[in-house]
Copies of this chain bind each other. A is one copy, B any other.
Amino acid sequence: MEKRQSGSARRQQIVDAALAILNEQGVHRLTAAEIAARVGISDGTIFRHFPNKEAIVQAAIDSFEALLFAGFPPADPDPLARLRTFFIGRLALLREHPAIFQLAFTDRLAEAAGQEGADRMRAIVLRQFAFVRHCLVEAQERGDVGADLAPETLVWTVIGMLRGVSMVLQQGVIGPELISGESVWQNLETLLRRSAVPRGVPQR
């Protein structure tokens, strides 16, 4: 319960608390009192740092976006290598900021932030989708990935893999050992590469 933090430090504490609450307890528990309790200040003080609750969630989306798009997009020339860098980066995010990672597969941030926040969240999702899609189309053109497949379905495979990891983390659902290391990426890359029809080998 340290007093008189500098403004920006407090702001970040508040934003982090909001993200943690949203991830752990959901939209309906994101209250000024709950945030204040986590930060260790009194509830009225929240509004010395933000004009209202929505502004907190907007700032949380800022924070979310900054972490999601740090070093984005990767620059590798090979499309699957680029995708790999992205994917591995996401798994790193999972370890360092699990709340952020998990909130990416949820609409809690969007719901808490009103219409404007929902629009921003959609844009964030689309930006990632577009990146993944671009990698995959390029890989298709190179023949690394099956060119006869709709790129969207490949995108969904990639995103679905990340979401699977998120659910493992959240629920301890399947095998948590899969999270560490790069085995998930290996599985994904194998799946994608094999979708390219080997020349001369007839497919069913």
Number of copies of this protein chain within its complex: 4
**Chain A, range 139-169, C-beta contacts under 8 Å to B:** 146, 148-150, 152-161, 163-165, 167-168
| A160→B183 CA distance, assembly (Å) | 18
| Contact status of A152 and B126, CB under 8 A, knowing A163-B160, A194-B197 | no
Q: Show the binding face of A for B, using Cβ within 8 Å.
A: 26-28, 106-108, 111-112, 122, 125-126, 129, 146, 148-150, 152-161, 163-165, 167-168, 171, 173-175, 178, 183-184, 187-188, 190-191, 193-195, 197-198, 201, 203-204
B163 contacts A194, CB within 8 Å?
A: no
**A126 cross-chain contacts in B, Cβ below 8 A:** 173
12 contacts between A and B (CB under 8 A): A28-B112, A106-B107, A122-B171, A146-B191, A149-B190, A153-B161, A153-B164, A156-B163, A159-B163, A193-B203, A194-B194, A195-B195
